[in-house]
Amino acid sequence: MAWLYLIIAGFFEWGWPVGLKLGLAETGLRWSWIFFSVLCMTASGAFLLVAQKTIPMGTAYAVWTGIGAVGTFAIGLILFSEPATLARFFFVGLILIGIIGLKIASPQ
């Protein structure tokens, strides 16, 4: 269950950068998006907390931030038309390899 909690924590990591990006408009702060960010940060941290009861801290943190990085990369491409260069895909692929490697190398 700890790995499931860690994956859920990583998914919530996607929400807070999106909320922060959308939370500032030319007209000022959009408080609903700021609140969304805080909610995602809280949920992400809570699930990480539970996951770390079983998964080593360094592994959990690396996987958590990796899932967040890969997810926000994809969201940036899809929702915000961010650059889709070969180099960016290559390095995000390295992050994915790291996540998979940490899962494989973790004690069961």
Total tally of structural domains belonging to the chain: 1
Range of the domain at 44: 2-105
Q: Give the total residue count for the chain.
A: 108
Residue 92 has pLDDT above 80, yes or no: yes
Query: Does the pLDDT of residue 108 top 70, yes or no?
Result: no
pTM to 2 decimals?
0.89
User: Which long-range contacts link 41-49 to residues 24+ away (Cβ below 8 Å)?
Assistant: 41/12, 41/16, 43/9, 43/12, 43/15, 44/9, 44/10, 44/12, 44/13, 44/15, 44/16, 44/68, 45/9, 46/9, 47/5, 47/6, 47/8, 47/9, 47/12, 48/5, 48/6, 48/9
Report the share of the chain in percent with pLDDT over 70: 99
What is the pLDDT averaged over residues 28-49?
97
Question: In the predicted model, what is the mean pLDDT of residues 100-106?
Answer: 91
